[in-house]
Structure 1
């Protein structure tokens, strides 16, 4: 008996009706059945739905909506026909304005309950386009023998299967319309069973206004392949690139194996542009496999808001931690005496240095350091900074904020992709003698439960 696997609990087969009371932080409806907490995908507060079981735990059950019996005024028809299946978006059934209100509520609740913060200015929720916005994505690829077809797209909700989709309305239109052609292309290839992934990266060929930001896009696709590609398959890739005006990069192993394939000539780098004046923009170069923000319009608005909250002066010396390729650093350098950027990746810090050189910016310097372990004795840590911008990963920046008084900036702007760790770190900053003055959300990922936010802190007694 000890060697036998525990049998998976059989789920109830009969659908149930349930009233939805509220939403979880991830965007699932919450109700109760027989006194047990129940999470329901695809349901909104105030609705009564019919749902089927997808999982059972000792403390809660999980269900999926199959029919809406009583509809919320926030419910809309999803713009994507597979929205209820695809894991790329989980909130398309919710009005975009209601999504923003929900995300703001998630942030404010975290700040109140984890950091005991209620006395601050709530920034207006930052919105942008909700469709054709996504410039970065990893699409799964799978040959399905019983279907005699290839699937290309995001994983399904709650499992590792790839969604059977024909197009994607949240990817920039030049890419979203390629889903079916990509499926047909890979199905025609001899190595169709050995291609697990396509990575999407979109850049810009010229500087444009926010309104025209998608006018001159450059689409690059990285094809991950587990076996060498035959000459016939390479010819198919070339023909596809010429027909749809895209660039192919091939990846045979780890990230270091990403190489330009077609067109053969041209730069291996993509670009995006950040306006810094009426007639001037900063050009940011990046590799197709680099991390960049997925939403170009929100990225521009986010940078402007961060600089406004920092209230940069000509004599300010600014520290940009987790600076990436200089997305915040280089725009900030236009308005202050000096910017120092620090990033964990040596490659990305070098990219930031190259971008500064490309734009003739000589008051920005960049360093590589593990910000979760390294601090003492670093060439950047022995200087006083008047202001700091933090843009950490989901795990937050507790290692930095616990020692913030060693840097003692007057103002901190914290950009977060996880309201839970932002609230935790905000509580620590309060203990270190800082006061939170502003906080608000940014809709970087419309139709998902991702909550991006920004908060401003000032050192008490600094006069900032």
Structure 2
């Protein structure tokens, strides 16, 4: 977004000019929680995106605040021994990745320190944090792991499409040629889409394109599903064009049409050979379990890490035939169904009814009959619910980024000895961990789950025992 300043005096203009053109040299001391380098300048912390600890860097100040300074990295005069060349040509602009310039082993160390620091900020003692029983992290390939992504589409004044991801700290798009974190069928789709969109007759008709790589799509392996958000109704010519590209590249394409100015989901039309509907997208877990989903459902975007995460959850929980397990924030049954094959009973609870319905369907399709699924707002009082009256022996929680504050408060009242918490946000994990520790639980295992390599995002698994 452009900023316009009123030109009052020559003195003011010169002051602004000096601020934006002067260069300085600073030494970077550490990374903040977002992976941004932090040093000291004029007795204030200075944040320099793209810098690493121990580096001497040349910077230009771009914004001064009362308590800190923001600066742009111009040059690395003395590089860290852990600095590597970013693999993606768009890394300096694209906001998708944060850490491609940092050696992978150091990325994992940064994430572990991030979790520890947030636990400390929540009020957990330094003695306990220093003694955390860290386990070997779950990791997979550093590249070509992301199987679901939303690709932005913007149009310039000449109606030329810009296709890619948001720039760092802006809503503007970076025009992407290739993305090395997307699974290989999707990594090079940007140039194909650019050629296709240039041929459309209804310009500026697309809001975004979601790309999904599933194990099975319409009985075809390694296929891509494209969900095209139409902000204007598609015409016959453009529909036929999408059809041709879908056939050429083995895509399944679905349109989500809405009237201009509305965000509601409109009628769905399909350009591929068969209609896309729930049940035609799936991914496979161990023990021949298939999880079916639709394009709007949440799934774990890193399939190999998801498989390893489930295996570790089973290993840490040590499910026994007589166990009854409560799976909170169960989603489509990603943990519930593998657990059900090893215990007497699993009760899965999710806040969204459509997800509950699909979890029930997944259990039926996989012929698993000892799983029950219920809808409930887990951020409200639910202890009086009928499903909460079971004699649970173990609990698994896999909440969204908001965490499970109300849920862990109530779980602690069920007097269950073993709680496994799978977190996608270390800030809320720290808050919820403090609650459980204060309720008499202890951390017996903790480990990173590197679901999002090359980024600042951290997933963590923690095993609590009363």
TM-score by length of 2: 0.91
Hey, what's the Cα distance between the residues in 1 that align with 2:267 and 2:97? 28
Match of 1:51 among 51, 56, 59: 59
The match for 1:140 is 152
SS of 1:153's partner is strand
Please give the secondary structure, in 1, of the residue aligned with 2:342.
coil
Aligned match of 1:166 in 164, 171, 177?
Answer: 177
CA distance in 1, matches of 2:22, 2:89: 25
1:250 aligns with 2:258: no
Q: Which residue of 2 aligns with 1:200?
A: 211
Kindly state the Cα deviation for residue 191 of structure 1 after the two structures are TM-superposed: 2.3
**CA distance in structure 1 between the partners assigned to 2:25 and 2:221 by the alignment:** 49
Aligned to 2:117: 109
Aligned-residue CA RMSD (Å): 2.1
1:436 aligns with 2:439: no
Q: Distance in 2 between matches of 1:79 and 1:86?
A: 13
Ranges in structure 1 where 5+ consecutive residues have no aligned partner: 207-214, 460-464
Distance 1:452 1:69, change over 3 A: same
Q: How does 1:35-434 map to 2 (within 5 A)?
A: 35-114=43-122, 115-116=124-125, 117-118=128-129, 119-145=131-157, 149-205=160-216, 216-253=221-258, 254=263, 256-257=265-266, 259-268=268-277, 269-276=280-287, 281-434=288-441
Name the CA distance, whole Å, in 1 between partners of 2:70 and 2:137: 30
Shift of 1:6: 9.5
Superposition deviation, residue 258 in structure 1:
6.7
Contact 1:140 1:152 in 2 (8 A): yes
Q: Deviations for 1:225-266, whole angstroms, at most 9, x for unmatched residues?
A: 111011111111111111111110111135743735121415
- Structure 2: how far apart are the matches of 1:341 and 1:53? 51
CA contact (8 A) 1:104 1:125 kept: no
Gapped regions of structure 2 (runs ≥ 5): none
2:451–2:459 CA contact under 8 A, matched in 1: yes
Residue pair 2:412, 2:436 contacting (<8 A) in 1 also: no
Q: Take 2:317 and 2:384, find their aligned partners in 1: how far apart are those partners?
A: 27
Q: Residues 281-331 of structure 1: CA distance to partner in whole angstroms, max 9, x if unpaired?
A: 100000012110110111011111111111111111000100110111101
- Quote how far apart the aligned CAs of 1:187 are: 2.1
Q: Whole-Å Cα distance in 2 between the matches of residues 378 and 258 of structure 1? A: 37
TM-score, normalised with respect to structure 1: 0.91
187-196 vs 416-425, which deviates more? 187-196
- For residues 42 and 307 of structure 1, the distance between their equivalents in structure 2, rounded to whole angstroms, comes to 38
8 Å CA contact 2:151, 2:211 repeated in 1:
yes
Aligned in 2, Cα 1:111/1:78: closer, same or farther, shift over 3 Å?
A: same
Q: Could you give the per-residue CA deviations for residues 98-129 of structure 1, whole angstroms, max 9, x where no partner exists? A: 11111011112222442223233101121111
Alpha-carbon distance in 1 for matches of 2:63, 2:246: 43
Q: 2:210 aligns to what SS in structure 1? A: strand
- 1:338/1:256 CA distance change after superposition, 3 Å: farther
Distance in structure 2 (CA, Å) of the matches to 1:109 and 1:377: 36
Structure 2 CA distance, aligned partners of 1:318 and 1:348? Answer: 19
